[in-house]
Structure 1
């Protein structure tokens, strides 16, 4: 007699992996059908990298230890995280909430964390794929040095995904409709783009401005990404960056647990 496996259903129940897979497949189908979301997910990061490079031409990188291409590509990794995870997930959570999808899912076996994670999985997979492609292409065709500390690069991407996914879930609580997501996501996007080192490395700013920008939510993630790819960061800088990223992640996760909306706003 065959015995049930971990991935099979047993006595009418399903495994966590099975539930996550089903949620992710359904979300991927919706993503593929949504042309606007596909544009944001696949093409906007590439367009923003071009904008980053144009901005760096005017900023000047003397004293940063980075070439123009290195600064643009490492900033591009952070931009992929912000756009594909944060900007894509906020309207996704809002749409599922307003369509009563989240409310119905809570009546089933899936836990709250599984519902949120399952919705995010397609965006996470696309983020990872784009990050890998960017690193490989930059090293192979643009003359950028290979990642100096891959473990920091992986850690930066992982923490960035969790942080921005949690921030997306929380921002959705402040967002009434899918259309208004364009407004509610703009503050974090602009603050991250110009204050967290995506468009311009923080080293070009005055010391006091740099110290303030170092405390922003995405700055720690960008610092880990650049240190992992290009090296050069000292232990103290890495410790501060890691601590900042983890503290913001913990705050965002706590806020989601306390404030996330599962039913439509009235």
Structure 2
């Protein structure tokens, strides 16, 4: 039985990176779009940590939904409908190698953006992450969660064009969470429910792990490195649960041939 081959996966990844770079829109989503929200830092007060948290959360949300989720979804559906995946499965490549290689361009781009945004934000008056380890865990969980959701969504996506519609439910689910603190008149029960969405957990982890903000209304760093661990436990558990759910759904529903 053929074992997992990192070398074969790397070769497949290079092939997918080349294909991604040839698609101007996909390349824009992957490399440029997540950095655009940082422009908001030019318009606000330098050192405004609340603004920095909102801006970087927006950038991460864009990276999650477009650099990872939508790009992986459209690439997988394209390869599947062109019967590329069907042909490759009959060769030496294992299924897990095909999946990892399709997810890797978005993952690498997100890692690059997550790295670049730290010195960029610092140059614009924002603090360095209070808990870099928590920030790194957040990046890994975001990549795993939204890549898996992309493969799950592909199960009922008939074509790359229809991905614009089938991706909307998850985009809305992820987007509504970070906005809960800015929506007036929302009941506590609804706010608590929305705090369990992946976007809300991601926003909380950025506020706590990067900025050391204690609560949604905090505007200045008050948490130390040690204190961020306990404060981040709940959103970290929520995001980890979404990761497990997404991986389980993708594993059960993935399709390798076009839907009839």
Distance in 2 separating the partners of 1:217 and 1:67 = 20
Equivalent position to 1:213, from 185, 194, 198: 194
SS of the aligned residue for 2:170 comes to helix
Residues 215/147 of structure 1: CA separation in 2 closer, same or farther (3 Å cut): same
> TM-score, normalised on structure 2?
0.83
Alignment of 1:17-28 (within 5 A): 17-28=6-17
Q: In the alignment, is residue 162 of structure 1 matched against residue 144 of structure 2?
A: yes
Name the structure 2 match of 1:80.
63
Tell whether 2:240 aligns with 1:259: no
Alpha-carbon RMSD: 2.5
Find the counterpart in structure 2 of residue 39 from structure 1.
28
Distance 1:160 1:226, change over 3 A: same
Range with greater deviation from structure 2 (182-191 or 130-139)? 182-191
- Flag structure 1 segments of 5+ consecutive residues without an equivalent: 1-12, 58-64
Q: Residue 177 of structure 1: SS of its match in structure 2?
A: coil
CA 1:152 to 1:258, structure 2 compared with 1: closer, same or farther past 3 Å? same
Does the 8 Å contact 1:157/1:225 carry over to 2?
Answer: no
Aligned equivalent of 1:147, options 129, 133, 153: 129
2:198 alignment partner, SS class? coil
With over 3 angstroms needed to count, the CA separation of the structure-2 counterparts of 1:130 and 1:144, relative to structure 1, is same
Q: Name 2:99's counterpart in structure 1.
A: 116
Which range is displaced more, 122-131 or 107-116?
107-116
Please identify, of 225-234 and 90-99, the stretch whose mean Cα deviation from structure 2 is larger.
225-234
1:58-207 → structure 2 map (5 Å cutoff): 66-139=49-122, 141-193=123-175, 195-197=176-178, 200=179, 202-205=180-183, 206=186, 207=188
Could you tell me whether the CA contact under 8 Å between 1:97 and 1:262 is conserved in 2? yes
Structure 2 vs 1, CA of residues 74 and 218 (structure 1 numbering), >3 Å: closer, same or farther? closer
SS at match of 1:263: coil
2-side partners of 1:130 and 1:66: how far apart? 20
Q: What is the TM-score when the length of structure 1 is the normalising length?
A: 0.82
User: 2:148 touches 2:250 (CA, 8 Å); kept in 1?
Assistant: yes
Task: Spell out, residue by residue over 1:10-60, the C-alpha distance to the aligned partner (whole angstroms, 9 max, x if none).
Answer: xxx78611111111011011111111211222233234555x77xx99xxx
Per-residue deviation, 1:66: 4.0
C-alpha distance in 2, partners of 1:36/1:26?
Answer: 18
Q: Which runs of no fewer than 5 residues in structure 2 stay unpaired?
A: 215-227
